Structure 1
Amino acid sequence: MEARGGKQDMEQQKLHTAACLKAFMLTNSTKTNLNLYDHLTRLLMRLMDERPPDAVDVIEDMSRDVKRALFVERQSTLRAAPHTAATQRLAERQRLLFTRGEEGDQEDELIETALPNVSEVGFYLEQAGVGLGREEMQRIFLALKQLVESQPLQHCRLWGKILGIESNYVIAEAEYREGEEEEEQSTEETAEEEREAETRDDEEESEAKEVSNPLPQSTYKPPPVVPKEANRTGVNKFVYYVCKEPGLPWVKLPSVTPAQITAARQIRKFFTGRLDAPIASYPPFPGNEANYLRAQIARISAGTHVSPQGFYQFGEEEGDEEEAIPRDSYEVNPDFEGIPVPEMVESLSTWVHHVQHILQQGRCTWVNLAAKPEEESYEEGDAEEKEEEPDEPEPEVGPSLLTPLSEDAELFHTPPWSTRISSTLTSQYAVAVLRSNLWPGAHAYVCGKKFENIYIGWGLKFAGDSYNPSVPPVPQKEYPSGPEITEALDPTLEEEEMLNAALEEQQAAQEELDDMDEEEEEGDDD
């Protein structure tokens, strides 16, 4: 009897322990509202269904998957959305560059195309120790191909890359086909006409106010506005497109004005990488970063774009009689045989500028701002005797095209150029490399009949030891004082009494004279 009672006690104890354990396993978690009993049940059912080999090794992963499957429906959609990084988005855009076009388009490109051979340029730049790397040059090559296919361009080349604080600018230099750029000119002309109309309305309003309430007028006269050079001439000879990275959209830069070039010469600003960013500087720059970038491109091109002497020549149309007129065009010399690399390295006389020099006016060709239109000169012809016309200003003349680099002047006791050979070990296969010291980042190479210019830098000119900002102009003189505007002092009491007494005497004397005149008139009548 005692043995049976002990067995019953043990069984009851086991049942009690099992009940306590089951109750413990059925306790829900305060975080997930799940319990261990249900989790183990699901895990064992999955093990029996899948029967994986080496279940003991994967049971932890299966337990995590079983627990994760319960939270799929409860997860937030914001958390489940994949996060796309900027590099991934850029890679997706650049993947489109590697798509092939139609076979017909490729056959036309093989016949005639404006696409440059950037791969060959990258190879020679790599020999010269300059460039952007093979991978980036290949992406830029495909980006230029995309630009040529989307725009009616006659000529296109990689100008270079200007670094910025937030992002960089990849720059392409292009030239439109004949008759493809008239729309832009018309839109710019209409915008200028609207501005002139607004200024005329403001002047008319100010004149009307002055008539009703005359005020002292200022004698200051603003300097005349230097007109912008037309497209395909001077600083606007080429059109420039920029993009932040290959694969991103190309953006066309606006034409540059002389005022923008003049202001860019007086300031030093790093580029931000945003074309619409304002330029906070002194003197104020007339435009945003897109205009400032275009002005710096024009300055860099005019100072650093060079070629071997004899590669270009002036056309035969211009005769000896027109030597006084600066020439602005040239053509490729078909008889050019190339200059040996050692000569290109030893002497700067073998290099010449093939971009026009920018004058102090901000133009490549000088314009006489003192000249009057023909109508005004004809109407004012009678007044020539009264007012003598001012002397005509002397035309500004800069270095002509195809001027050797040996004539360039030093700046801050620094030579403008440095030359070297790419390799002294295999000089027979080396290239001549030219580096600009006035525009750090501008390089050129020559190998036989092939040459190229490229700029990779911050877009700033060498300023010596320190940069000195422009001095503010002399303040304008005060308005000339005269008796009509000079404020008089208030008289004292004694002066007022003396003045009143004098006025009374004058009035009495005048009355006596009037009485005498009346008596004489009456006597004459009698």
Structure 2
Amino acid sequence: MCVKVAGRQEKKKKRRRRKMESEDSQRLHSAASLKAFLLKSSTESRLNLYDHLTGLLLKVMDERPPNVVDVIEDMSRDVKRAALEQQSSLRELPEISAAELLAEQQLSLFSRPEDADQDDELMETPLPNVSELAFYLEQAGVGLGREETHRIFLALKQLVESQGLLRCRLWGKVLGTESSYIVAESEYREGEEEEEPSFDEEEPDAEDTEMDPLPQSIYKPPPEVPKEALGTGANKYVYYVCKEPGLPWVKLPSVSPAQITAARQIRKFFTGRLDNPVVSYPPFPGNEANYLRAQIARISAGTQVSPQGFFQAGEEEGDEEDTSPPDSYEANPDFEGLPVAEMVETLSSWVHHVQHILQQGRCTWVNMAVKPEEDSNEEAEADEKEEEPDEPEPEVGPPLLTPLSQDAELFNTPPWTSKVSSTLTSQHAVAVLRSNLWPGSCAYACRKKFENIYVGWGLKYVGGNYSPPVPPPPQKDYPSGPEITEALDPSLEEEQMLKEALEEEQAAQEELEDSGDEAEEDDD
């Protein structure tokens, strides 16, 4: 019995000891947290309460004034004033922030030239009605915001005045990791030529010419697909980009079929620097400016749509026997508009008004099997022995003004999603169309008005995780054959048999020669 009582008392002591240790640890933790709170500096005076109370208590202990509780506020004020006087009265001015720097750059957008005439502003202008575009895009649930849209409108006005453009519209905004691109689309002007970059070939050094020449490779790369002329196909429009409204506009170069083909095989985020090299596999022929131009061409060809009947095929002067689909269109003056409910219910009420880009990287197919006249004359003798290759079958894409209902599904995903902007006020709603293959591309239509815009990362939907293409197997150094393949040394028996066979063959040949000589003597 005594043992049980002693055990219970021992357990009670352990519990009491644990409780006291827990209370002590909580007390220490609360004291540490309280001290950390007291050591927190003020954002205005850069002082903390812990140092202030310490200085105040030291002042009280040194002076020991009567009625301390009555003068404690004045002493606290004196301690705080002395601490502030110890700090430097001169403060470093903060550097110019990015917002202030951008405001200085955009100041020119809001300045009106003194020689501007009010009558000229009332005339028809190539500028789009960006305020109206922002209103409808806001109804559709997309856009850039009213403030940024207004600044972009002023930037487009500056671009039109500086470049003398005949037509200009806001194509969209391509996002980047460091900065984004605001893209403006303008029509090609006749006589406008592109400045192609020239690369100076390095002359060989004198020491290299004295050495034995290196063997020349006989490999001939496949012929390069020619670029489409300015104003046609993928180069029908000219594009300008800028990082922010107020910064200078940069004209993008024209796009080549090789760049479009390579852009289809890679996925790269944009950095915001046009001169940045594109490191990828397969290698991309150009820098980020060329890659951006290739993606703009691909997005425009796949997502630029309009209501059925708004455009009609243009009349082209040419051969009457030409049965190729028309590659131009013009506005239909008799278009009366389509009901919003009809444009939402069926995709047949929307059509593509930008040419489809073929697998060749062009909008119009070109026969690469036909050689130029100069090359055909020089290689005529060499081609006589070779068989003529089969004539390739021309590639034909969907014609212009093809309904969206004929677009194919990819990765079990419908290519388009349509909806009405508001179901509560349907009489004032607009039809909204979004692309699922190019996320960020959107179009709206309301009565006789429509517009397309793109705001995204410039990447196509691939249906899942992206897997880069596998490099091809390495080429062989030389063809394998019996002439160069190393063989095993023959045995002694094999050498003896081979020697006997050669001797028999030589003896038979000598007998034939002797019999031939005797026959000639008999004839004589």
1:22-49 Cα offsets, whole Å, 9 max, x none, are xxxxxxxxxxxxxxxxxxxxxxxxxxxx
From the superposition, tell whether residues 381 and 289 of structure 1 become closer, same or farther in structure 2 (CA, over 3 Å).
Answer: closer
**Which residue in 2 is equivalent to 1:20?**
none
2:402: which partner in 1? 403
Can you list the C-alpha shifts for 1:392-450, whole angstroms capped at 9, x where unaligned?
A: 11111111111110110000011101111111111111110000010011000001111
| Aligned 1:109-128 pairs, distance under 5 A | 109-128=121-140
Structure 2 counterpart of 1:274: 273
Query: In the alignment, does 2:259 pair up with 1:260?
Result: yes
Question: Equivalent residue for 2:326?
Answer: 327
1:104 CA drift (Å): 3.7
Change beyond 3 A, Cα 1:164–1:313? same
1:85-484 to 2 correspondences below 5 Å: 85-102=97-114, 104-179=116-191, 181-182=192-193, 184=194, 187-188=195-196, 191=198, 220-317=219-316, 321-322=320-321, 324-377=323-376, 386-481=385-480
* Other structure's SS at 1:391 match: coil
Provide Cα deviations, 1:314-345, integer angstroms capped at 9, x if missing partner: 12345894562232211111111111111111
Whole-Å separation in 1 of the counterparts to 2:226 and 2:312? 29
Deviation at 1:130, TM superposition (A): 1.0
TM-aligned CA deviation for residue 71 of structure 1: 7.4
Q: Deviations over 1:99-158 (max 9, x none)?
A: 123464443242232111100000010111111111111111111111111112111111
TM-score w.r.t. the length of structure 1 is 0.71
Post-superposition offset of 1:176: 4.2
SS in 2 for 1:420: strand
**Aligned residue type for 1:340:** P
Secondary structure of 1:313's counterpart equals: strand
Q: What are the residue-to-residue correspondences of 1:499-518 with 2, within 5 Å?
A: none
Q: Distance in 2 between matches of 1:223 and 1:384?
A: 17
Q: Distance in 2 between matches of 1:383 and 1:491?
A: 43
Partner secondary structure for residue 176 of structure 2: coil
Letter in 2 for 1:165: T
Q: Cα distance 1:385–1:297, how it changes in 2: closer, same or farther (>3 A)?
A: closer
Q: Could you tell me how far 1:474 is from its partner in structure 2?
A: 3.8
Q: 1:416 to 1:483 in 2, by over 3 A?
A: closer
Instruction: Check conservation: 1:152, 1:176, Cα contact below 8 A.
Output: no
Is the 2:274–2:289 contact (alpha carbons within 8 Å) kept by the matching residues of 1? yes
CA distance in structure 2 between the aligned counterparts of 1:417 and 1:206, rounded to whole angstroms: 61
* Partner Cα separation in structure 2 for residue 151 and residue 289 of structure 1: 23
Distance 2:184 2:244 in 1: 12
Q: Secondary structure at the match of 1:331?
A: strand
TM-score, with length taken from structure 2: 0.72
Paired with 1:91 and 1:327, the residues of 2 have a C-alpha distance of 48
Task: State the shift of 1:367 in Å.
Answer: 1.1
- Is the 2:174–2:457 contact (alpha carbons within 8 Å) kept by the matching residues of 1? yes
Deviations along 1:350-393, one digit per CA (max 9) or x if unpaired, are 11101110111111111111111234445666776533321111
The separation in 1 between residues aligned to 2:108 and 2:375, in whole angstroms, is: 60
Shift of 1:206: 12
**SS of the residue aligned with 2:166?**
strand
Q: 1:293 to 1:379 in 2, by over 3 A?
A: closer
CA distance in 2 between counterparts of 1:285 and 1:383 reads 34
Q: What letter matches 2:189 in structure 1?
A: R
Cα 1:399–1:106 change in 2 (3 A) is farther
Give distance in 2, aligned partners of 1:209 and 1:322: 61
- 3-state SS of the aligned residue for 2:182? strand
| Secondary structure of residue in 2 paired with 1:364 | coil
**Is the Cα contact below 8 Å between 2:188 and 2:236 reproduced in 1?**
no
Aligned-partner Cα distance in 2 for 1:208–1:271? 47
Decide whether the 8 Å contact of 1:115 with 1:157 is kept in 2.
yes
Residues 408 and 105 (structure 1), Cα distance of their counterparts in 2 relative to 1, 3 Å cut: farther
The code of the aligned residue for 1:413 comes to N
Number of residue pairs matched by the alignment: 421
Q: Report if the CA contact (8 A) 1:256-1:295 is conserved.
A: yes
| Partners of 1:412 and 1:467 in 2: CA distance | 13
* Structure 1 stretches lacking a partner, 5+ long: 1-55, 503-526
Task: Give the secondary-structure state (helix, strand or coil) at the position aligned to 1:125.
Answer: helix
Find the aligned partners of 2:188 and 2:120 in 1 and give their Cα distance.
Answer: 18
Does the CA contact (< 8 Å) of 2:314 and 2:326 recur in 1?
A: no
Give the drift of 1:485: 5.2
C-alpha RMSD of the superposition: 3.6
Give the 3 Å change call, closer, same or farther, for CA 322–135 of structure 1 in structure 2: farther
Q: Deviations over 1:257-283 (max 9, x none)?
A: 111111111111111222222222111
Q: Write the letter of the residue equivalent to 1:262.
A: T
> What is the distance in 2 between the residues matched to 1:132 and 1:376?
54
Alpha-carbon distance between aligned partners in 2 of 1:345 and 1:318, rounded to the nearest angstrom = 37
Tell me: CA distance 1:133–1:226, structure 2 relative to 1, closer, same or farther (3 Å).
same
- CA deviation after TM superposition for structure 1 residue 468, in Å: 2.4
CA contact (8 A) 1:164 1:458 kept: yes
